[in-house]
Amino acid sequence: MTGKLAIFPAAGGLGGSTLTHLLRQVPATDVVLVTRKPENLRKEQAAGATIRKADFDDVQTLEHAFDGVSTLNLISYPSFQHKHRFKVHKAAIDAALKSGVTHIHYSSLAFAGDGDLDTKGHVMLAHIATERYLAQLHDRDPHFTYTIIRQGLYSESFPIYTAYFDVDAPSCEIRIPHDGSGPGLAWAKRDELGEATASLIALHARDPAAFPYVNKTVLLSGPRTWTLGETADALSRVLRRPVRIHQVPLDEYVKQPRVHAGLGGEYLAPRWATAYEAIRAGECAVATPTLARILGREPESFETTIGHLLSK
């Protein structure tokens, strides 16, 4: 490698999982972990990783965060508000290029299939804008390359798609603007997505010329699709009580207290509800063997993952 490998943000579910698995594949001294809270990465620092502080929402902190780095895994900003999300992604990318980063693995989302840039989901708009920006940068300078990693919908995120289903006080009905039928969602375990992402980063670092996903999109998905109705059935089996989808009008969906509490405000719920239109259009129903191939094993099933999650 001509420079170090960085993860930003190196925190949270996906970032934390990716860094854990990456440190099993490359020396810690080759890794830069960029985070808002460096104090949470003392163990990694003790192992030899470089820890730097930066924040998407403080552009000045990004200015030298990627110095000495050749490859960056950029993980998306945790929001589905389009304009601000893309703005901070662009700032991080620009800072990375200014510091000499030559390849970015961008952790995107598995809406819009495995390459089709049309989407009905507001949640995907900033991702598509970021993907297009990376492609434009390569067109301007072919020495800069990128990989789009469309991360499968986390199995652990099922409450977001089920009206913030409360496992501690489960209801027998999931009231959403969708009838629960197909096309479905190719649920994937978050830690397995982190493991596969780490393997892609390490594979590229070992031999960039032979890396199969240079300037391409790779979709990491679970092994099969589950309709929202089948998702509710799985919850029924795990919880040992009936759970079913009940389709409701959009205005009734957005008024549910758990929904606007989970989203941070009732005014955001209509934007989030466009995800159901995207699901209905089959945007999340693309299942590929890529995750299994990278892991070297069959990915964990949705029902197994939520069974472990709900039994804790």
Q: pLDDT tens per residue, the chain (312 residues)?
A: 568 999 999 988 999 999 999 999 999 999 999 999 999 999 999 999 999 999 999 999 999 999 999 999 999 998 878 899 999 999 999 999 999 999 999 999 999 887 765 899 999 999 999 999 999 999 999 999 999 999 999 999 999 999 999 888 878 999 999 999 999 999 999 999 999 999 999 999 999 999 999 999 999 999 999 999 999 999 999 999 999 999 999 999 999 999 988 887 777 889 999 999 999 999 999 999 999 999 999 999 999 999 998 876
Instruction: Provide the pLDDT for residue 22.
Output: 98
Residue 295 lies in a domain: no
Residues 76, 175 within the same domain: no
Residue 274 lies in a domain: yes
- Identify whether the C-beta of residue 115 lies closer than 8 Å to the C-beta of residue 75: no
Per the structure, how many domains does the chain have?
2
Residues 45, 68 within the same domain: yes
Residue 291 lies in a domain: no
Residues 134, 203 within the same domain: yes
Residues 79, 202 within the same domain: yes
Q: What is the CATH number of the domain that holds 253?
A: 3.90.25.10
Instruction: Provide the pLDDT for residue 1.
Output: 57
Residues 252, 145 within the same domain: no
Q: Is the dihedral of CA 269, 185, 188, 5 positive or negative?
A: negative
Cβ atoms within 10 Å of 40's Cβ, excluding its own: 14
Output the CA–CA distances (angstroms, integers) from residue 8 to 36, 105, 191, 286, in the order listed.
9, 11, 17, 27
Phi (first) and psi of residue 11, to 5 degrees? -155, 180
Residues 117, 247 within the same domain: no
Residues 59, 177 within the same domain: no
Residues 20, 116 within the same domain: yes
Instruction: Provide the pLDDT for residue 287.
Output: 94
Single out the residue of 184, 165, 181 nearest to residue 173, CA to CA.
Answer: 165
Instruction: Provide the pLDDT for residue 259.
Output: 92
Output the CA–CA distances (angstroms, integers) from residue 171 to 132, 164, 167, 261, in the order listed.
41, 11, 8, 17
Instruction: Provide the pLDDT for residue 177.
Output: 97
Q: What is the CATH number of the domain that holds 36?
A: 3.40.50.720
| Domain span at 207 | 4-152+190-220
